[in-house]
Amino acid sequence: MSGFAGQVALVTGSSRGIGAAIAEALATEGAHVILTGRDVKALEAVEERIFSSGGAATIAPVDLGESDGISRLATALAGRWQQLDMLVHCAAILPQLTPVTDIDQPAFSKALTTNTLATQALIGAFDPLLRRSPDARFVYLTTSVATAPRAYWGAYAASKAAGEVLVDCYAQEVRNISKVRVAIVDPGATRTAMRARAYPGEDPATVKLPEVVASSVVSLLGEQFASPHRLRVNQPS
């Protein structure tokens, strides 16, 4: 437990799935992990697993869709920690898969708020704390449909594509004036609740576990990658 000893990591969407797996893997490597999400009981379960493994974590429940949720989170963290070394943005909403002509506007608005607007808000709120770190890393989890759109995925793809563009622009804006490095990670097909909703007839055993993605992300965070860096996590052979 020395790879990230003394470092602070914030993982959004860490109550379950890929976010929880990344949070636990970072804690195993010695990072103090800040767990965020809307489900307090699920966050407590992740925190307990981290504690049981000898790691350190802090729960900070937040709804990224709330108008002041992210700013309140940033203020709270800045009051306790001098810097933020890693920010891994996993949280996302998958609206109903439907033809573009039938997209439900309220649901689309909610997806844009969480997947796009919250991404910009996180960057804006936590950039100051990231810049205080001598080795800051920001990781954004994307999706293949953001760059290769498919029928019926329009609402989700559009919201994630917009978020991805914001992250890429941010990476270019800060790479020559700060030590903040940015990576955009496509986890690929992974055994999560979101995947199950999108592919209800799929055998979960045919896709990789969230821990596979977590291993790749944690490995990347330990490297001196060029920013912006892109990574796709493939299915293990």
Active site residues: 156
Report cis status (omega within 30 of 0) of the bond before 228.
yes
Helix axes 69-80, 118-131, angle to 10 degrees: 20
Other Cβ atoms within 10 Å of 51 Cβ, number: 12
Long-range contacts of 211-217 (CB under 8 A, 24+ apart): 211/21, 211/25, 212/236, 213/18, 213/21, 213/22, 213/185, 213/187, 213/188, 214/18, 214/21, 214/22, 214/24, 214/25, 215/25, 216/185, 217/22, 217/25, 217/88, 217/139, 217/185
Helix axes 17-28, 40-52, angle to 10 degrees: 30
